[in-house]
Structure 1
Amino acid sequence: MSGKSATAADPGTTHRFRLAIDGTDLGVFTRCTGLACTVEVEEYTEGGRNDSAWYLPRRITYPPLVLSRPVTAEAEKTSQWVLDAVNDTRRRTGQIASLSATGSVLAKWDLLNVVPVAWSGPNFDTASPGAAMEVLEIVHHGFFRAGTT
């Protein structure tokens, strides 16, 4: 093994996630959960065939995405986006980019029809040693490749 650290040698080690909605950068988050999809399938057994079944894809679902980070100056921009989006029914596209420790993009996911679900600002408690955190929850209608919508 070379003299590089494990983090530098492993590009899959990420530290941050950048969120942009309709090209507007909402900043870097330190945690992202819900980046997933599930395909519902229907099992179909063919008459006279007892050794196997067919699985037919039916619907794909996407859980809510929950992003969190310590409060920064970008928190005001994010909460304002949530309030603006609630009063405007335009369909929005989004992008989440997974960033390496050096800030280069490791992977990105383009999101279709992004809708905010919740935003929470920090809980201020002088007895708590942790960072003041903000949390953003969004839902979407799936992934797409840029230029194919």
Structure 2
Amino acid sequence: MSGGKQVALGMAMRFNVKIDGVNLGNWTSCKGLEVKTKVHKVRDTGNYAYEKILFGDVQYQTVKLERAMEKTSSAVLREWLVEKLSPWQQPGFMPELLYSVIGGSTANITLLDSAWQEVASWKLKNVYPAGWYGPTFSAKDTAVAIERLELDHEGFLDE
């Protein structure tokens, strides 16, 4: 409670993904929503008290989404993948067209609270599919069929 008002907490199991306005549905797992930096430490001549820290590179991880397969949202995901990846199979595809066809997408990952209201969101720029993994089938298993989507991107910190 904060000032007599209940705080809306983000629920780790409630988030939605949209890419260029296409709603890819709700997911059960999101990993890799992180940023790592590399810094360089330098010692000034004659200064023995501390090292100066010089900012280095920023590196964004591949985002890995997982969920149970479901007829409607899994079909939307498949259509989106076909649209993004079909130019690779067309004869005469020009590599210089790659950026305009494959890249340039914007993904929004939205964290929701228990009332399904937005708590936070991350806008991933220049997103492209790095992989899709379908379910593993086994006659001995009674588990839910899981699909995974991997997205590479150029970051989410400069909105």
The TM-score normalised by the length of structure 1 is 0.84
String of CA shifts for 1:2-30, please: whole Å, max 9, x gaps. xxxxxx97714321221111121111101
For 2:119, give the aligned amino acid. L
Displacement of 1:84: 1.7
CA contact (8 A) 2:8 2:113 kept: no
Supply the distance in 1 between the matched residues of 2:8 and 2:110 (Cα, whole angstroms): 17
Residue of structure 2 in register with 1:11 after alignment: 9
Structure 1 unaligned regions, length at least 5: 2-7
Residue of structure 2 in register with 1:77 after alignment: 76
Q: Does 1:52 align with 2:50?
A: yes
Matches of residues 63-74 of structure 1 in structure 2 within 5 Å?
63-72=61-70, 73-74=72-73
CA contact (8 A) 2:38 2:57 kept: yes
Q: How many residues align?
A: 139
Displacement of 1:65: 0.3
Identity %: 29
Residue of structure 1 in register with 2:102 after alignment: 89
Supply the distance in 2 between the matched residues of 1:47 and 1:83 (Cα, whole angstroms): 58
Residue of structure 2 in register with 1:25 after alignment: 23
Supply the distance in 1 between the matched residues of 2:25 and 2:152 (Cα, whole angstroms): 18
The TM-score normalised by the length of structure 2 is 0.79
Residue of structure 2 in register with 1:117 after alignment: 130
> Do the aligned partners of residues 127 and 101 (structure 1) sit closer, same or farther apart at CA in structure 2, a change above 3 Å counting?
farther
Supply the distance in 1 between the matched residues of 2:17 and 2:43 (Cα, whole angstroms): 44
Displacement of 1:91: 0.8
CA contact (8 A) 1:79 1:119 kept: no
- Identify the structure with the greater helix proportion: 2
For 1:21, give the aligned amino acid. I
Residue of structure 2 in register with 1:5 after alignment: none
